[in-house]
Structure 1
Amino acid sequence: MSPAQKNQVLNDHFRKTGEGGVVMISMGVHLLGRATVDMIMKQLAGDAGDKSVEPGGEHDVGSIKVNNRTIDWEINYYNKDLDDESPDPTDPQQTTRYLAILLSTEY
């Protein structure tokens, strides 16, 4: 399995479960309310999230539509101290995935 393919698998698992990283929502997303945030998280974990990733990439960026709003998301790879990039994003022992979810107008 190539590094890109391994990151695809790890990113898809993280996006769907939140395991192995940190999920951050922007203030704009937060202000949409708990029910909408829950809907966003459910869609990211489901078919809408699967369809939003770039084909052939690492599945680390995308956007979905929720209640006629475009929600952008991106996964970055940090070291375990969250103070620098991960030395090896394909190694969960060295990497904390960080999912940022924001309104497209906040990007």
Structure 2
Amino acid sequence: MTGEVKGRAAEIARLNDHLRRTFEGGRVVITAGIAALDPLRVNLILAGVRTFSAFTADNDPCGEHDCATMTVRDTQIMWKIDYYDPTMTYLSTDAADPISAVRVLTIMLANEY
């Protein structure tokens, strides 16, 4: 990776981490499968997503911290961050630009993917 690519990935990771840790700087969506769980389990899952830090070259090859699978109290989940244009009509052309990219964090049961 060139320095420019690494810098861009680092900025995307910073913005993604901010959304994931604070649920600010974008939108957070839970799927019907997550919503159907008991409230305590949902809260544990949300806390697990917020505190996830086990990024490796194997599970995060681009270094953008945009996706992970994990198990929270025997519930296998996946979370993914996607980037849309400000109208939420198209994908964003620049995930590193917080003005032109609306981040959407989707939290789902692994079997919903």
Match of 1:16 in 2: 21
Tell me the CA shift for residue 106 of structure 1.
0.9
Distance, in Å, in 2 between the alignment partners of 1:22 and 1:33 is: 22
Alignment of 1:1-107 (within 5 A): 2-46=7-51, 49-51=52-54, 54=60, 57-107=63-113
Deviation of 1:56 (Å): 5.0
Please provide the CA RMSD for this pair: 1.5
- TM-score scaled by length of structure 1: 0.90
Q: What amino acid is the match of 1:50? A: S
Tell me the SS of whatever aligns to 2:78.
Answer: strand
The superposition leaves residues 58-91 of structure 1 with CA deviations (integer Å, 9 ceiling, x where unpaired) of: 1000011112111001000111111111121111
TM-score (norm 2): 0.85
Q: Which runs of 4+ in 1 moved over 4 A?
A: none
After TM superposition, give the deviation of residue 35 of structure 1 in Å. Answer: 1.5
Report sequence identity in percent. 35
CA distance in 2, matches of 1:61, 1:21: 15
Deviations 1:82-106 (A, max 9, x none): 1111121111111110011111111
Q: Which has the larger radius of gyration?
A: 2
Report deviation, 1:55. Answer: 5.5
